[in-house]
């Protein structure tokens, strides 16, 4: 009996299926880059093109991070792209038109992000209105504010320091914006995996009633996630203003669909079945490699809509399959 208890249990072998599932998107990214590199090595593999792809998508990465936090808690925030546009416009109006310092303008933009997050949370949590409806409405309302502030015109003349610290200054030839985005991914990864609030957020997303019965203040967690989402969207707006050196009242709205596509596609990678920052980062650059490669090959610009729209539908379907399998394995 003693010998039987002392006998160690056999070790589980390496699970190749799980490994391939977790890193399939990474392999697909490398393969896609290799194919386009072989077809157009002089243009696609040039360092100028690579650094441009890395730097130009930093705003989308930050906006995707803003999305995955409420998504993890089970909420949708459709107002993030509008908040991005409003943030950029606030900086343009205060800094370029009214002469306020860049720092003051940025603080005001972030403060407005906090206010929008609180407004979203109030309607969602107090009136129990679905987050999809609330954030769609507040996002449309914010769009109207942006058009009113700007007179439906692009505002330029921002302080050159913003552009310098976003895209002009480079490390290894890559704009600082890329490093800001990667640093944010690292922070969110640590938050999800190694902090108590992050684990609570994951728990709430898995099942609100179970979380509530376990003593977690679900509404407080959701409030935090919605405010954080709007603040990060405001940060993405600051980066966007620095990227283009101006504020456009409409172009920022185009980030919403790619952001959701990257969020759901990222949920199938690295940590399958869970919205996660590294998977979302890989998803962003998988999508942009495909779009850039096809554009270099001479495909017309409609490929961007095909890639993002098709990618979103496919990503949602795959993430649902992964979640169902994870739930079956858990039970």
Q: Whose CA is closest to 290, among 316, 263, 309, 275?
A: 309
Q: Which residue positions in the chain have pLDDT lower than 50?
A: 1-7, 9, 330
Q: Please check whether residue 88 is in contact with residue 145, taking contact to mean a CB–CB distance below 8 angstroms.
A: no
Distances (CA, A) of 73 to 12, 36, 67, 223: 32, 38, 11, 10
Q: What pLDDT is stored for residue 330 in this prediction?
A: 45
Q: What pLDDT is stored for residue 4 in this prediction?
A: 44
Q: What pLDDT is stored for residue 49 in this prediction?
A: 92
Q: pTM for this one?
A: 0.91
Residues facing residue 254 across a β-bridge: none
Instruction: Spell out the alpha helix ranges (H) of the chain.
Output: 2-6, 16-39, 41-44, 47-56, 58-72, 80-91, 102-121, 131-150, 160-163, 176-194, 196-206, 208-213, 218-244, 256-266, 277-296, 303-330
Q: What pLDDT is stored for residue 301 in this prediction?
A: 66
**Structure letter (DSSP) for residue 254:** G
Distances (CA, A) of 226 to 147, 229, 263, 290, 312: 24, 5, 16, 31, 22
Max CA separation in the chain (angstroms): 84
Q: Whose CA is closest to 73, among 294, 214, 274?
A: 274
Give me the DSSP letters along 9-51.
Answer: PPPPPP-HHHHHHHHHHHHHHHHHHHHHHHHSHHHHTSHHHHH
Written as six digits, the tokens of 70 are 């409420």
14 Rama class: left (phi>0) / alpha (psi -120 to 50) / beta: beta
Residue found under tokens 């599932």: 21
Q: What pLDDT is stored for residue 322 in this prediction?
A: 66
pLDDT tens-digit profile of 313-322?
A: 777 776 667 6
Written as six digits, the tokens of 275 are 């919205």
Q: What pLDDT is stored for residue 55 in this prediction?
A: 93
């Amino acid at each position: 009996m003693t010998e039987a208890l002392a006998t160690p249990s056999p070790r589980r072998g390496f699970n190749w299926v799980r490994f391939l599932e977790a890193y399939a998107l990474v392999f697909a990214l490398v393969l896609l880059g290799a194919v386009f590199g072989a077809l157009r090595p002089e243009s696609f593999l040039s360092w100028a093109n690579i650094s441009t792809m890395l730097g130009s998508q930093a705003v989308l990465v930050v906006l995707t991070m803003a999305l995955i936090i409420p998504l993890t808690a089970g909420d949708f925030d459709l107002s993030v792209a509008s908040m991005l546009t409003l943030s950029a416009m606030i900086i343009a109006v205060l800094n370029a038109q009214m002469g306020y310092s860049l720092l003051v303008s940025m603080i005001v933009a972030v403060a407005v992000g906090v206010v929008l997050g609180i407004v979203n949370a109030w309607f969602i949590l107090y009136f129990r209105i679905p987050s999809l409806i609330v954030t769609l409405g507040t996002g449309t309302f914010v769009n109207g504010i942006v058009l009113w502030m700007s007179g439906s015109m692009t505002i330029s003349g921002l302080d050159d320091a913003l552009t310098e610290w976003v895209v002009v200054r480079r490390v290894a030839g890559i704009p600082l914006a890329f490093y800001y985005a990667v640093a944010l991914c690292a922070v969110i990864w640590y938050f999800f995996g190694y902090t108590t609030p992050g684990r609570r957020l994951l728990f709430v997303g898995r099942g609100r009633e179970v979380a509530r019965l376990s003593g977690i203040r679900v509404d407080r967690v959701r409030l935090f996630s919605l405010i954080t989402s709007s603040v990060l969207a405001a940060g993405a707006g600051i980066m966007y203003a620095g990227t283009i050196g101006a504020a456009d009242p409409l172009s920022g709205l185009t980030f919403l669909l790619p952001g959701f596509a990257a969020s759901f596609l990222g949920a199938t990678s690295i940590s399958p079945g869970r919205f996660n920052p590294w998977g979302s980062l890989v998803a962003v650059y998988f999508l942009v490699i495909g779009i850039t490669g096809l554009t270099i090959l001479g495909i017309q610009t409609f490929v961007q809509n095909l890639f993002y729209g098709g990618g979103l539908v496919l990503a949602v379907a795959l993430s649902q399959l992964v979640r169902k399998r994870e739930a079956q394995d858990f039970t």
